[in-house]
Amino acid sequence: MLTTRHGVRPLGPADLDDFLALARRRPVVNAFVDYRATTTNLEPRWLGGEMWGRFGGGALVAACHVGANLVPVEATPDDAAAFAERALARSRTVSTIVGPQDAVRGFWNAVASSWGRPRDTRWEQPHLEIGGPPLVAPDPQVRRTVRADLTELYPACVAMYTEEVGVSPEHGGGAELYRARVIQLVNRGWSFARFDQGRLVFKAEVACATPYAAQIQGVFVPPDRRGQGLATAGMAAVVELVRREIAPSVSLYVNDWNASARAVYEKVGFRETARFATVMF
């Protein structure tokens, strides 16, 4: 049953095939929600939230992941406004709104007056992809991390997160959960790093993966080792490893103002295919 006049309702396991068909219209851009749907079967207890769908003429035309992250899926600004109307019927639970720029802007414009002032807004985030070999030589010393690397790896993950987001992942007692997430990525073989005499000098992780694409997060080089080509060769190695063993395309999104990171990704062979935006609370 549709629960609003705009044709929005929560999706469940019976909607999985239709949802995946929708998300896979742009399988690389929608890698995160594809991964979440296939690993949870759209069961709310596993999602840690809900997946909303908007219907038109009996067909699923747009969707919205509503968990810690709120992510519009193939949503026009009108679809985003319809999802916002449903969101306004309850208190805000999400910590981040992220996804294609127009949909995020449409959603935010509808909830801004009620959801309070965000901690940060990032409206220009190029979404980058590479679907072939890297354009530069990969660093042969980049490898998958193991649990024995955590002494170096975990502080680097905290430093990267704090630098990128503006608040430590350990803030408010979050250290245990964040450490568990880092360990989970290591156990999955989704964490990569290079070490120089035992010290971590480059790292990156796969945040999510589908049969079509893997999304990279957490790219980091310690401040005193930047400008030495470690990120360029390191990312080339990650692209090569991921494409060979995890997914055929590799994606990420980056802040428009981060000129050094964008230069690294361009050298490696990433190309912009969409614009994302992020609103953080």
Q: Which pTM value belongs to this model? A: 0.91
Between these two residues, 181 and 165, which has the higher pLDDT value? 181
Contact predicate 256/102, CB 8 Å: no
Instruction: Tell me the pLDDT tens digit for each residue of 93-148.
Output: 899 999 999 999 999 999 999 998 999 999 999 999 999 999 999 999 999 999 99
Phi and psi at residue 48, in whole multiples of 5°? 70, 25
Could you read off the pLDDT of 166-188 as tens digits, one per residue?
899 998 888 999 999 999 999 99
The three-state (H, E, C) secondary structure of 246-280, written as one string: CCCEEEEECCCCCHHHHHHHHHHCCEEEEEEEEEE
Q: For residue 4, what pLDDT is reported?
A: 52
Q: Residue 7 forms beta bridges with which residues?
A: none
Reported as a pLDDT band with limits 50, 70 and 90, residue 2 is very low
What gap in Å lies between CA 229 and CA 220, rounded to an integer?
Answer: 12
Contact between 202 and 221 (Cβ < 8 Å): yes
Q: Which of 139, 132, 184, 177 is nearest to 158 (CA)?
A: 177
Q: Which range, of 91-100, 144-153, 199-208, averages the lowest pLDDT?
A: 91-100
Confidence of residue 165 (pLDDT cuts 50, 70, 90): confident
H runs (alpha helix) in the chain: 16-23, 31-40, 44-47, 77-87, 101-115, 150-165, 175-188, 230-245, 259-268
Domains in the chain: ranges and CATH: 8-116 (3.40.630.30), 143-274 (3.40.630.30)
Confirm if 20 and 96 have CB atoms less than 8 A apart.
Answer: no
CB contact set of 135 (below 8 Å; sequence gap of 6+): 236, 267, 268, 269
Quick one: what percent of the chain has pLDDT higher than 90? 91
- Residues pairing with 96 in the sheet: 69, 280
pLDDT tens, position by position, 57-87: 999 999 999 999 999 999 999 999 999 999 9
Sign, Cα dihedral of 163, 39, 189, 273: negative
